[in-house]
Every structure is written in C-alpha cells, then in structure tokens.
Structure 1
Amino acid sequence: MSGVSGAERGPLSPRSALALLCALLVVDFADRQVVVAAFPYLRTEFGASATQLGALVSVVSVVVALGALPVALLVDRWSRVRAIAVMATVWSGATAACAVAPGYLALLAARMGIGVGQAGFGPAASALLGATFPAERRATVLAVFQMGAPLGIVAGGVGGSLAAAQWGWRWAFLAVAVPGLVLALLALRLRDYRSVPEPSRGRAAVAGLLRARSGLGAMVGGALLLVVFSTLYTWLPTQLERAYGLPPARAGVLASTVVLAGAAGTVLAGAVADRLTRRSVRWRLLVPTATATLTSATLGPAFVAVPPGPVQLVLILLGGTMATTAIGPAVAVVLDVVAPAVRATAVAIFALVQNLVGLAVGPVLTGALTDRWGLTAALGLVACLGLVAGVAFGWGSLSYPRDRERGPVLLPRPRTRRPRAAGGRSAAPRGRRGGR
C-alpha cells in the first residue's frame, strides 16, 4: 500500500522549510519575470516584435510543462531535496547566461535553459509540504508557498526595471541570478520524506486524477485563470506605459502593486477555503469559483469600458487580487485525491497543465492579439477567461466530497514468481513471522 513510511531527519523545522521553499519560488519567478523589464530595451536593440517578446516569457513555461512530469517521476524515486538543490543551480546559471546573449535567438535559448532547471521544482516542493503539514492546513500552507510566485514577479519586474534603468538590461539578469545559487545550497538542509515504492507512479497519478472529476476541474480552472494572470504580469507594464505615459521603471513599479495584491489574495483565499472546508469540503473549490468569476467582472470592464484613470486602476487592482486565488485550493485538491507516494508526480501533471495551458499561453496569446487588434482589446478578451475558469471549478466542486472520501487509486502490484522446488514444482510459500 502506498504512503509515507518515515522521514529523514534534518535541521530545518517545518516553518523554516516553508520559508525556504517560498524564497526559492520567489527566485524562480523573479528569474522568469525579469525579462519583462528588458522589453523596451530588447525592442530597440534586437528589433523584437510583441509576439517575440511574449515568446521570451512563454518559452519558460512551455519547457517547464514538458519537463515537469519526467523530472517529477525521477524526483519521487531519487531525492526531492537534492533535486531541488540541483534545479535551483541550473535555472540560476541559465539566468546568468541571459546577460551575455548576443542576439534574440541566444536569449531565447537561455530562457529555455531556465525552464529546464525549473521543471519539477514546484511538484517536488509541494510534495514535501504536503507530507510535512496536516491535510486540514494544506490549502493554507500551499497558498503561502505559492505566494512566492507573485512576490517573485514583483521582485523580477521592479528590481529588473531599476537595474536596467541604472546599469542596462544585462545587469538585471545578473542581479536575480545570484540569490538562487545561495538558496540552492541552503536547500540541502531540507527534510525529505521516504515513501513506500509505488509500481508505475505515472499510471497511479494519472488514474487518480482522471477518476476524480474534482481534480480535473481544479486543473482546468487553475490553468484558465493563470492565462489571465500571466497576461497581467507580462503586459500590464506596457499598457501602463502607453495609456498613462509612464517611463518603463515607473510603469513596472505601478504594475507590481497589482501583482502584490495577487500575493495577498493567494494567501487569503487559501485560508478562507480551509476555514470554510470545515463546514463543507465543497468550499475548497467554491471559493475559487467565486474569485475566478470576480476576476472577469473586474478586469473585463477595466480594459474595455473604463477610460484611464483612478477607477480603472482600482478595478485592475481588484482583478489582480482575484487572479491568483485558486492556486492554493487547486493544488490541495490534487494532493487530496492521489496516493502520498505519487504526490510529486500528480502535482507535476497539474504543473504541466498550468504551465502549458496557463502560463505559456497568456503572454504569447496576448502578444499575437496585440499585433492584430491592439493591447487594450487583447487584455479585455483574455480577461473573459475567468468566467470559464469559474465554471470549471464549480463543476469540480460537485464531486469533490465523493472523490475525497473514496481515497486514492492504488494500482495492483505485479506478482512475483515463486521459487521452483526440486523436481520443477513450485515451492509452497513460507509462513510470515508475527502471524502476518
């Protein structure tokens, strides 16, 4: 039977582990986002179009999505702690390589290297946290961890904008690369957990998620909402530059307040979902149902109907607060419906969908729509996806209580051959000690 059978001793307490993993996620997304601060300079130096600039953001998510599952399968068999340290080293080195890229294609290749390093980090970290903290606190803990994503977006956007304005865009990449190398060493002090071997981890994780309609709803809804959020953190600085006549550095700082609001919304939604789940477990998905709908209700009018000004900025701020609220509850649902031994693999499947359908699609889709109809129209169109995400979450909530009660899918273990006795006959199985 699958499950966590023990834990390796380590010097870091659960709260310290949560803080360190959250800090690594901050660096993860700072390394992704810093390229947005370089957009104005890349347009001038490399002559990049809006679609090409969006591709520099999306390519990281595509590589993360494609690599998440095979890396997570290896992580579940090897060591989550050592894998995290290696991955942080790789993606930080690739970020530093961006600083010396001689042209657009070289920069695109270095950005792919960031994705190679980051593939599997989210699943490995989520599996560690899922085993460290009790199930009734899972949405809150994972929301605190996922808060590192918007914080990293702010760090990469604001820090990158200030560094690029002061020293040039290449130094912006170097500024965010160094912290990852330091945290990679500290990650070796995390406490791993041992899990009972599960035959065919991939099959068990896929079977659990496909059987659980709530898991599918969480994955689809979360991905659609991330299309909206990735569009915001990629293109909002450019929109503020054009609509309000702001210089790139000031636009980046103003856009960062929207992303910071998303960080607050992430933690708040996780805590609210956990509290309401005590009354009815359906609230773990009903909370993101409501917030996804509110995302479209605020951002859609902000870009389509409201002219630039204080009202528009308030609506964008509210929409940014809502756009990340599904992250904690959605991951918690995925962990609830699969066996403990395949949690990293299950979260990798979740991450594949979130990155490939969510984070990868938003920037390049909005860039393509911008080249055709303009940035304001593109932002308004993408904002409507929050309504579809709300429908997916609501659909999944209907079966979540049943999916949670019936437990994870456990695949049968392959039969082992009995040893042959003399004369070619199978030997009788020996009795087990302890009456078992």
Structure 2
Amino acid sequence: MNAPPRTSVPHAPVVTWRTHYALFMLAIIYIFNYIDRLVVSILIEPIKLEFGVSDTLIGLLSGVAFALFYTVFGLPFSRLADRFGRKPVVALACIAWSVMTMLCGLAGSFAVLLLCRIGVAVGEAGGSAPSVAMVSDLYPPKQRTRALAVLMMGPAVGALVGLGVGGWVAETWGWRWAFIATGAPGVLLGLLLAFTVREPAKPADTSAQNSNDSFWRTISSLLATPSYLLIIVGGSLAAIAGYAIATWNPSFLIRSHGLSLKEAGLLMGLGGGVISVCGTLACGWFTDRMVARSPAWQLGAALFGSLLSIPFCLAFYLWPAGTAFQVGSVAVPTAGLFYIGFAFFGMWWSVPCFGAMSHLFPPSRLAQGTAILFMGITLFGVGLGPLVVGVLSDLFSHVAGTEALRYSLASTVSLLALSCLCLALAIPRYVRQITTTKVN
C-alpha cells in the first residue's frame, strides 16, 4: 500500500495578528488541558488518606481509566475536526473537561471520583490532536515547529500551575478546592475560543476522497506511512516514563526527601515547570533551524534531547537523601539540580514528532494522524506509566521499604533508552519519504 501524500499547501497561510491570537488561545487552553490532567498527581497523598486506597488504585485513577477513555474517543473527535473544523471541537471539548474537573472536587467516594476523571478524559480527547492540526493550518512549514513549541508548552506550564498552585490550594483549603479552582477557568476559555477566534481557511489540497474515506481505510492508510509506527512506539515509550515521573515525583520528594506537600508542588511546578517551558521553546527554535539544513533533524532533534535527558533522570532518582541547599525558607534536595537538566531536555521528543505529522499527512487526515499518535502516547503513557510505577512501588516495598518509589521511578530510564532506539530507526525512513515527495 502506498503511503498517503505529504501535506502540500499551494499557498502558505498568511501570518497576521489574528494568527498569533489564535495560537495564544490554543496554547492557554492546552495549558489548562494539562493542569486539569496533572493536578491529581499533587493530590495523591490527601486522596489516599481520605479514601484509604493503595498506590495501585491511585495508578488506576491517574492512569489506566483516563487513558482508555481518552483513546476510545480521541480518533472519532479528530475525524470530526478534519471534516467539520478544528475550532468548534476544541471549544466544546475544553468546556466539557473543565466542568468534569470541577465535579471531581464534589466526589463523595473514590468510585465517583474515578467516574469524574473518566469524564475529564472524554472531554480532553477532543482537545489535543485538533489543536495541533489547527496550529499546522495557521502557520507555514518554516514557522510550524516553533508555533507547535508554543502550543506544546502546555505540559510544562500545566505542571507549573497544576502542581504549584494545586499543592498550595490543597494545603490551604483542601484537595477538593484544588479541582474546582483549576477547572473553572476552562469554561470561559472555551467560550472565548468559540466567539473570538476565526476558523482557519480550509487547506486547498483537502480532497473529497480523503475526507469521505471509511474509518478503517483511513487508519490503514495512515499506519502504512513510513516511519509513522516507529514514531508512535518511540513517543509512547517516552510518554510512559514522562507521565510516570510527572505523576509520582511529588510523592517521591515527600517520601524520600521529606518535603511537605506544598514544597514538593513548588519544586516540581515552579522549578521543573519553568525549565521545561524554556526547554520546549529551545527545542522548537533548534528544530526549525536544523531542519533548514537537513530534514533528518525533524526527528534528530527529538533523539538528541532524549539522549541527553537520560543521565539527568538517573542522577535525580539515585542521588541520596540528606543533602540540600536553601532557597529562601525551603531546603531544596541536591537531587533537584539534576531534575533541572531532565526538565530542560525531557520533552524534546514531543515537539519534533508532532511537527513531523504535518509533513507526513495531508490536511484532510492531519488531525486523525495526530490523534493516533496522541492515542499511543495516552494509552501507554497515561495508562501504563502511573500504574506500572504504582505496582512496582507496592512490590518493591517488601525489600526497599519507604524507598520503593525511588527505585521504581529509576527503572523508567530503560524506557527512555528504548524510545531513543525507535527514533534512530525512524529517521532514515522519514527522510526517504520527505525526499521522495519533494522530488515527485
């Protein structure tokens, strides 16, 4: 089966202030997407205390349940976005997941909380891939990765606000108010997107044939694209490690380094979040600059950053407790210095991989192709990452006691190494397709 044609827009979109405003709105919404997704990680300890559940059940709450429903609804919503427009799907999704986040704060039992988190997952399934596709519609290829880097600040800024502010609200007013406070702004943002942002013009090469293809024919055509499966597998492996780290890092600092809930949230949110934002923007700039020299750098940048993140991650988890330095009134563990390096490079796999989607697929399939990548990342990353670490922590506790979480998190580094292998194998396949398309 032949691979689908590469995205080729005869007339590149004109960038105006409205383009940048649309990107700004999408970036803010994507930030709240991750705030609402990640805030549960800083609330693990008080939720466990109130409902009396194990680490495995917490992994189910923050991982598998969310991932399964996100995956089931992600592709249908993206198919709607490819056919009828990106903006209405993103706006309605934002309102839906924000309402469900607020309802998490009203849950009277662990079962109800789990159902509300499933509602958050269904809403967020309509936000991510259509947002990436909309940014790709808004900007010409030479500026696209940098624009996507602005959008992809969502995980970093989401961690900053979700963990930092969420931890402060939880310690001051309780964990329920953390859900309510982080969910409420999304309702307004969804309305603002709907009524103040223009839908991008329909790309000129969106063919009726591609738009009317059956569901399964579209999927089989997407998966036949060279390098695509390797990008999905590599991104999914990196996401397993990434979501495990994002979910369990606050608890690791509390258990192994003796930080309070608020201190752990501030260190992971303000420290790691700010550095991750810098790293994500640097990745977008670096990728666009290097791709001008060779298309191999579209995925080569992802490989480069991921390789550099591995030693920082290992050092962060294996550095012994008991050494710290003062930042104001907070004693910051020395291990936190290594986390800065990991935070800078840890998300470099994502921006170039999502940028590659716009070069692999035509606009009529871009949201769907991006959705499948998001599905792999979410199903395995969100689904397995927190759960695997939770299960390993429970198993290691018989040997390592309170340090079990430290070694279960350190084991995720092997997944980052496997992700790098997949990216290395994907690069020549990607280059062959891009080069062949340009020649043709």
1:100 is paired with a residue whose SS is coil
**Pairwise CA distance, 1:191:** 2.4
- What is the rounded CA distance, in whole Å, between the counterparts of 1:243 and 1:114 in structure 2? 31
Map of 1:414 onto structure 2 = none
Map of 2:27 onto structure 1 = 22
Contact 1:100 1:170 in 2 (8 A): yes
Map of 1:390 onto structure 2 = 420
**Pairwise CA distance, 1:263:** 2.4
Contact 2:227 2:426 in 1 (8 A): yes
> Which of 213, 233, 241 does residue 254 from structure 2 map onto?
241
**Pairwise CA distance, 1:286:** 1.2
Are residue 96 (structure 1) and residue 102 (structure 2) matched?
Answer: yes
Are residue 223 (structure 1) and residue 228 (structure 2) matched?
Answer: no
- What is the rounded CA distance, in whole Å, between the counterparts of 1:47 and 1:291 in structure 2? 40
**Pairwise CA distance, 1:260:** 3.0
Map of 1:345 onto structure 2 = 368
* Counterpart amino acid of residue 174 in structure 1: I
2:146 is paired with a residue whose SS is helix
* Counterpart amino acid of residue 362 in structure 2: A
Are residue 126 (structure 1) and residue 132 (structure 2) matched?
Answer: yes
- What is the rounded CA distance, in whole Å, between the counterparts of 1:326 and 1:209 in structure 2? 21
* 1:270-281 map, 5 Å: 270-281=284-295
**Pairwise CA distance, 1:6:** 9.7
Identical pairs, percent: 27
Cα RMSD for the two superposed structures: 2.4
Map of 2:52 onto structure 1 = 47
* 1:314-329 map, 5 Å: 314-329=337-352
Change (3 A) 1:85 1:338: same
2:259 is paired with a residue whose SS is coil
Change (3 A) 1:280 1:91: same
Change (3 A) 1:369 1:314: same
**Pairwise CA distance, 1:381:** 0.3
CA offsets per residue over residues 339-385 of structure 1, 9 Å max, x none? 11111111111111111122222111111111111101101101221
> Which of 193, 197, 210 does residue 190 from structure 1 map onto?
197
* Counterpart amino acid of residue 383 in structure 1: V
- What is the rounded CA distance, in whole Å, between the counterparts of 2:80 and 2:106 in structure 1? 32
Contact 1:224 1:388 in 2 (8 A): yes
Contact 2:243 2:381 in 1 (8 A): yes
- What is the rounded CA distance, in whole Å, between the counterparts of 1:174 and 1:67 in structure 2? 24
Change (3 A) 1:187 1:12: farther
Map of 2:86 onto structure 1 = 80
Contact 1:7 1:191 in 2 (8 A): no
Change (3 A) 1:397 1:205: farther
Are residue 361 (structure 1) and residue 368 (structure 2) matched?
Answer: no
Change (3 A) 1:187 1:101: same
* Counterpart amino acid of residue 114 in structure 2: L
Contact 1:212 1:399 in 2 (8 A): no
* Counterpart amino acid of residue 392 in structure 1: C
Contact 1:288 1:326 in 2 (8 A): yes
* Counterpart amino acid of residue 296 in structure 1: I
- Mean Cα displacement is larger for which, 187-196 or 205-214? 205-214
Gaps of 5+ in 1: 409-436
**Pairwise CA distance, 1:306:** 4.8
**Pairwise CA distance, 1:184:** 0.5
Contact 1:228 1:383 in 2 (8 A): yes
- Mean Cα displacement is larger for which, 95-104 or 76-85? 76-85
1:238 is paired with a residue whose SS is helix
Contact 1:201 1:342 in 2 (8 A): no
- What is the rounded CA distance, in whole Å, between the counterparts of 1:371 and 1:118 in structure 2? 30
> Which of 59, 68, 71 does residue 74 from structure 2 map onto?
68
Map of 1:424 onto structure 2 = none
- What is the rounded CA distance, in whole Å, between the counterparts of 2:173 and 2:319 in structure 1? 39
Contact 2:296 2:427 in 1 (8 A): yes
1:13 is paired with a residue whose SS is helix
Change (3 A) 1:356 1:211: same
- Mean Cα displacement is larger for which, 237-246 or 305-314? 305-314
Query: Is the radius of gyration larger for structure 1 or structure 2?
Result: 1
* 1:162-173 map, 5 Å: 162-173=168-179
- Mean Cα displacement is larger for which, 80-89 or 289-298? 289-298
Are residue 267 (structure 1) and residue 281 (structure 2) matched?
Answer: yes
1:360 is paired with a residue whose SS is helix
Map of 2:112 onto structure 1 = 106
* Counterpart amino acid of residue 378 in structure 1: S
2:169 is paired with a residue whose SS is helix
Map of 1:415 onto structure 2 = none
- Total equivalences in the alignment: 408
Contact 1:64 1:355 in 2 (8 A): yes
2:411 is paired with a residue whose SS is helix
Map of 1:302 onto structure 2 = 316
- TM-score of the aligned structures, taking structure 2 as reference length: 0.87
Contact 2:13 2:137 in 1 (8 A): no
2:107 is paired with a residue whose SS is coil
* Counterpart amino acid of residue 270 in structure 1: G
Are residue 285 (structure 1) and residue 292 (structure 2) matched?
Answer: no
* Counterpart amino acid of residue 222 in structure 1: G
Map of 1:13 onto structure 2 = 18
Are residue 36 (structure 1) and residue 25 (structure 2) matched?
Answer: no
Change (3 A) 1:121 1:156: same
